[in-house]
Amino acid sequence: MNSRGNKVIVQEVGLRDGLQSLSQVMATDDKKRWIDAAYAAGVRHIEAASFVPPRLLPQMADAQEVIAHALSYPGLTVTALVPNLKGAQRALEAGVHRIVAPVSVSAAHSQANVRKSPQEMVEELHGIRLLIDEAPAKPILIAGLSTAFGCTLQGQVPVDEVVQVSRLVLQAGCDLLALGDTTGHATPGQADDVLRAVRQVAGDKLAIAHFHDTRGLGLANTLIALEHGIREFDATLGGIGGCPHAPGASGNIATEDLIFMLDSLHYHSGIDLIQLLAMRELLQQSLPGVQLYGSLARAGLPQGYATPHPLSEKAAA
């Protein structure tokens, strides 16, 4: 496998992507317990919330409080998703380390999700860039390219459109670029084509992959992304979630399945798989009736499985 080093970041996005499409609203104290348990298990990157009007997304009404709790942990990188300048201002005031601005490649999804065209969202991202530049603290600005591999509303999303939007968000001033398979359309061959094409225009700023597992190919697509040098991946505990404006899309790849695969390939995430599996009980208690996913939880750990020994700092660098 084409390796750029064995250290991999796995960002837990369940608190945002996992919860946003559920009809149930997780209690704030349960969200805090989720953060507590994730941190204890070695998770060091969490997308904790999105700053959107509570009337539109009541699941995120406690964003400020949840983010404040996450920020109390040393060494925990806290990310928030913001769809506009107002959300970005709230994220700056909250003190997050990273801001994700969602820019859909699909025009149909963009209108449904943020009521703006892709070009208008690029302009919004540029405004967020200027806002950050004027702020005392300067969080990393990530352009999250939604529906980069397909859209349940539009259908196919041509590679050249993904490349064009990538160029535009880079010109608008994003620090990093994340490719999102919002609807779970991606196949390994397609992932290879898109990652190759975007790498040519984005270089090392293409750093993050966000795969959903609608058709069971999330981990296969992750392998392709690893070969292309991607070393940060989003995942949700129990594979919950989806996008409210992407009909038929399932949740992200399950964090526990992703860690199991990465461990088997000798990639170092710093996350304890045994503790991660135990965390599923927290979701079952706080979200009664919500279906959890994940092959590892269904089949169990292989007989004789032992948690891999952490790599040395030199090897993991």
The separation between the first and the last C-alpha atoms of the chain, rounded to the nearest angstrom, is: 17
Give the residues across from 211 on adjacent strands.
181
- Residue 174 is a catalytic residue: no
Of the listed 80, 243, 254, 296, which one is catalytic?
Answer: 243
Instruction: Classify 218 in phi/psi space as left (phi over 0), alpha (psi -120 to 50) or beta.
Output: alpha
Q: Which of 143, 186, 184, 150 is nearest to 166 (CA)?
A: 143
Q: Which of 23, 243, 57 is nearest to 151 (CA)?
A: 243
Rg of the chain over all Cα atoms, to the nearest angstrom: 18
Cα–Cα distance between 20 and 36 in angstroms, integer? 20
* Placement of tokens 């507590």 in the chain: 36
Q: Which amino acid belongs to residue 61? A: A
CA distances (Å), origin 201, targets 121, 159, 198: 20, 12, 5
Cα–Cα distance between 139 and 152 in angstroms, integer? 32
Which residues are marked as active site?
Answer: 243
